[in-house]
């Protein structure tokens, strides 16, 4: 896991929020993989008004988009393993406040193998060899 962020309850993700998050992800990728030449972003498609600014942000970062259908019943392959394990980890746990939940999620993520996202995409038979 290179980057994750908790937003305040009720927060709407605006173009500015999304842009800032993309930049933080780009910084995390550069920090961990400074010689990386290609980055692929698996993302859903949005309404045309959102696509324009999002596409521009992604192009400015030099990333290639791997589309994932919006509102798909299927999780993205890279999310499936982590989210399934997190759901199992949090099952039957109760939290008194959001801070406790954030701490538990952070502890869980810190215990995951560093290549867990790669495991999900590597084991996906539909994923083209050139996009791993």
Q: Are residues 1 and 40 in the same domain?
A: yes
Q: Is the dihedral of CA 119, 125, 127, 129 positive or negative?
A: positive
Domain closes at, from 31, 48, 72: 72
- pLDDT over threshold 60, residue 31: yes
Number of domains composing the chain: 2
Determine the average pLDDT of the residues in 40-61: 76
More confident residue, 104 or 41: 104
Distance CA 55, CA 66 (A): 12
Tokens 């980055």, residue? 39
Residue 120 has pLDDT above 60, yes or no: no
pLDDT digits (tens, 9 = 90+) for 84-110: 889 999 999 999 999 999 999 999 999
pLDDT recorded at residue 41: 83
d(CA 40, CA 63): 6
Mean pLDDT, the chain, integer: 78
Question: Residue 31 is part of which domain span?
Answer: 1-72
What is each CA distance from 127 to 37, 74, 78, 98, 118, in whole angstroms? 20, 14, 11, 36, 12
Is 104 or 18 the better-scoring residue by pLDDT?
104
Task: Point out the domain boundary residue: 57, 72, 87.
Answer: 72
Q: Are residues 95 and 68 in the same domain?
A: no
What local confidence, expressed as pLDDT, does residue 117 receive? 46
80 shares its domain with 18: no
């Amino acid at each position: 896991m290179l980057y994750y962020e908790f937003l305040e309850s009720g927060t709407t993700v605006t173009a500015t929020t999304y842009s800032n998050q993309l930049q933080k992800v780009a910084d995390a990728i550069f920090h961990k993989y400074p010689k990386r030449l290609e980055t692929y972003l698996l993302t859903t498609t949005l309404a045309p008004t959102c696509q324009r600014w999002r596409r521009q942000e992604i192009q400015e970062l030099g990333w290639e988009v791997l589309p994932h259908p919006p509102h798909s019943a299927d999780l993205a392959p890279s999310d499936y393993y982590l989210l399934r394990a997190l759901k199992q980890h949090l099952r039957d746990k109760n939290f008194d406040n959001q801070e406790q939940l954030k701490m538990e999620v952070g502890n869980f993520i810190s215990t995951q193998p560093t290549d867990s996202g790669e495991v999900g995409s590597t084991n996906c038979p539909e994923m083209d060899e050139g996009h791993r």
